[in-house]
Structure 1
Amino acid sequence: MSQMPQPTALSRCPSCEEPLESGDRFCGACGYDLSVVPAPPPDTPTLTMNGAVPQPPSEVASVDWPAAPTPGGPGTHAPVHLPTDLQGTDSGGSELPAASEGSRGVRFDRPAEPDDYHLAAPQPVDPRTADLATPPAGTKVCVACRAGHVDGDGYCENCGHAQPRERDHMEQELDAVAAVSDRGLRHHRNEDAFAVSSTALPDGSPAVVAIVCDGVSSATRPDEASLAAARAANEALLETLPRGTHPQQAMHDAIVVASHAVNALAVEPETAQEHAPHQNAPACTLVGAVVTAGLLVVGWVGDSRAYWVPVDRSAPPARLTEDDSWAAQMVAAGLMSEAQAYADERAHAITGWLGADAYELEPHTASFKPDRPGVVVVCTDGLWNYAEAAEEMAEVVPPDAERRPLHTARVLVGHALDGGGHDNVTVAVLPFPAPPQGAGSA
């Protein structure tokens, strides 16, 4: 006599990390089916690469910006090689130290995952007991069995399946910026987040903002970390830009604010020791862009990226950021070629992130004055893994991207999903220069 499959002995739900009890077949918090899912791999702890003390912070380069103070703040990164149509200044410019020369934490952002997740099939509907009547207007119907009604907690009253989360796929479009985020094809939840907005500078000219954050999968509550960082950075920029703060300084300050927001998620209980170390605290990466009528500013911590793609394609595209990652350090130190470094299993070990257990906060900022129209693509590694080089990214960007940023963002997310969708995918598209407020997208 065959036996019913027994639930995997898990202490926490592999989807939402809520505690489980012995014998649970479904997660009580999110409804995830536990009977056919293997236990998740253990988190990889943050490691430290021993070496010399990091270089002292350098000053943010001065940029010609009317009625704004000279920005200042920490930040160093490896040089980014740009085409001649991008005249820019960065916040440091010094070489990244080799792995053996810099004392910085390293977090492995990608725990091993099975090739396929065996998802439970919907329970069959019994026509004798199922309510097949047309549900009242506004009633949600289960996406799994297509018959049961969804209760107030988000579960099907017929088959018990939890319904898709709101963050599984998100889209937002403003006049001059759009963003799309998708859970991808392998992850149980979307740990990315974004925020897009627009405001006016003191002279009335427009400023468009996009922030994209990628939760560190090996950390606890990465989805909360990315959402907190995106919202905090966006709100900080909307507060400082209209006051006349230089966009490069405003971006630097926004990253610091975002870091505080993520750190707050790891505050120890009052009963804990005052200086107790944080164990695998919530963490995320961040990349952002501010586009005005004549200036492009990017800022980042981690391995999320920003790309520049000219509209007329008469000049080469460019990557505007340099990863805080093991692979980038190996390339900068001349120990590996770029192809070798990114083919290594340690390539996605990040050396910079926002979180209470980060070794140090080192925001990077850079400003550019493009001499022609273009689009800025701000994205997580869920996209650039499938279009890593600037030339590859430009091939995927539609020719009318500056007029259809939402369509472009959808195309780029689709490219990642078609390539395998192994990670969450988030991308924001900003046309340059920023059009006057209210101009809209064609």
Structure 2
Amino acid sequence: MTDTPNCVECGGTVAPDGHCWDCGAARPAFRAHMEITAPCGAAGVSDRGLRRGVNADAMALTVTGSWTVGVVCDGVSMAPRAERAAQVAAEAGAGVLVARLDEGRLPEHALEEAAARAGRAVAALAAADGAPACTYLAGIAGPQGLWTASIGDSRAYWLPEEGPAAALSEDDRGEHDALTAWLGAGAPDPEPRIRSLRPSGPGRLLLCTDGLTRYLPDATALRETLTRHGAGPGHGEDQLSAARALVGHALHAGGADNVTAVCIPVAPPPPSRRQVVRSTPA
């Protein structure tokens, strides 16, 4: 028989999801460091960081048929229960993506519907003391290319084994660097920025939160860091080592925030395909 943990805020009982049954507070050590892998070799690492009591980042990673699906969410620190918002959004978004891709829907349409469903799931958490909020980032990789959808400031990058690396998302930020789009409290209807890429060779799709990009703000810096850790071009098969290297860099640099990195391998397309980037206006 094991002891049931008590809440550090009110002394109540902590539920299996790491939250108190009575007051909803998160257990401080819950989800402090997580690693996930998928059969295709994709992997993700999330860490609480060195200055946060709770890890309010969340990630989901799954494979369905020839598609690999990843979702990364970052709880908005000024909103209550931000960690729960991120978890709910990541799970809801990934679930819809898998279902719609299995039905044969176009990736762009699947991404739009998944973002909307994630937004409704977070909004449903609203309570009398306020509503949680989070950013949202989803990525799909398959034989026809890769697609991303973003709301907020979590970012996607294409890191090829050869050729220039590139950002696949844009931050939703306005005056004084404030977020202009998110899921949850006071958010408008989700309008994700959707982008697609048909790569000309192998590489990896990186999905990450701003706990990483505050230290590695662009694609070039990310690739250089992976190369220094032996996980750069030519070593794309080990996605878990790559994710660990990126998260480890952020922690070594200060770890001021929660940090999450999900790496998805992308196989080379048929020789006839050319690299094309398309953007769907928000």
**TM-score, normalising length from structure 1?**
0.53
Match of 1:298 in 2: 148
Match of 2:172 in 1: 324
Q: State the 1:363 CA deviation.
A: 1.5
Match of 1:27 in 2: 9
CA distance 1:308–1:30, change in 2 (3 Å)? farther
Give aligned-pair identity as a percent.
42
| Structure 2 letter corresponding to 1:367 | S
Aligned residue among 78, 87, 101 for 1:227: 87
The answer as to whether partners of 1:252 and 1:364 remain within 8 angstroms in 2 is no
CA distance 1:29–1:256, change in 2 (3 Å)? farther
CA distance in 1, matches of 2:98, 2:11: 35
CA distance in 1, matches of 2:80, 2:211: 19
CA distance in 1, matches of 2:166, 2:28: 37
CA distance in 1, matches of 2:201, 2:154: 25
SS at match of 2:198: strand
CA distance in 1, matches of 2:35, 2:235: 16
CA distance in 2, matches of 1:421, 1:434: 34
The answer as to whether partners of 2:116 and 2:189 remain within 8 angstroms in 1 is no
The answer as to whether partners of 2:202 and 2:268 remain within 8 angstroms in 1 is no
Unaligned runs of 5+ in 1: 1-17, 19-25, 32-151, 155-161, 201-205, 269-278, 328-345, 436-442
Q: State the 1:28 CA deviation.
A: 3.2
Q: State the 1:175 CA deviation.
A: 2.2
CA distance in 1, matches of 2:266, 2:12: 41
Q: State the 1:27 CA deviation.
A: 3.0
Q: State the 1:365 CA deviation.
A: 1.0
Q: Summarize the alignment of residues 103-182 of structure 1 with structure 2, pairs less than 5 Å apart.
A: 165-176=29-40, 177-182=42-47
Query: Pairwise CA RMSD of aligned residues?
Result: 2.3
CA distance in 1, matches of 2:133, 2:204: 29
| Structure 1 letter corresponding to 2:85 | A
Whichever structure has more helix as a proportion of its residues is 2
SS at match of 2:216: coil
Q: Summarize the alignment of residues 16-415 of structure 1 with structure 2, pairs less than 5 Å apart.
A: 27-29=9-11, 165-176=29-40, 177-200=42-65, 206-266=66-126, 280-312=130-162, 315-326=163-174, 346-347=176-177, 349-397=178-226, 398-399=231-232, 400-415=234-249
| Structure 2 letter corresponding to 1:183 | R
Q: State the 1:29 CA deviation.
A: 4.2
SS at match of 1:208: strand
| Structure 2 letter corresponding to 1:221 | R
Whichever structure has more strand as a proportion of its residues is 2
Deviations 1:376-409 (A, max 9, x none): 1100000011110111111112225421011110
Q: State the 1:433 CA deviation.
A: 2.3
CA distance in 2, matches of 1:30, 1:251: 39
CA distance 1:300–1:28, change in 2 (3 Å)? same
Aligned residues: 247
Q: State the 1:356 CA deviation.
A: 3.8
| Structure 2 letter corresponding to 1:321 | S
Deviations 1:298-330 (A, max 9, x none): 001000000111113xx1110100000126xxx
Unaligned runs of 5+ in 2: 1-6, 19-25, 270-282
The answer as to whether partners of 1:192 and 1:227 remain within 8 angstroms in 2 is yes
Q: State the 1:359 CA deviation.
A: 3.3
| Structure 2 letter corresponding to 1:208 | T
SS at match of 1:210: strand
SS at match of 2:190: coil
CA distance 1:29–1:222, change in 2 (3 Å)? farther
CA distance 1:405–1:166, change in 2 (3 Å)? same
| Structure 2 letter corresponding to 1:190 | N
CA distance in 2, matches of 1:426, 1:250: 23
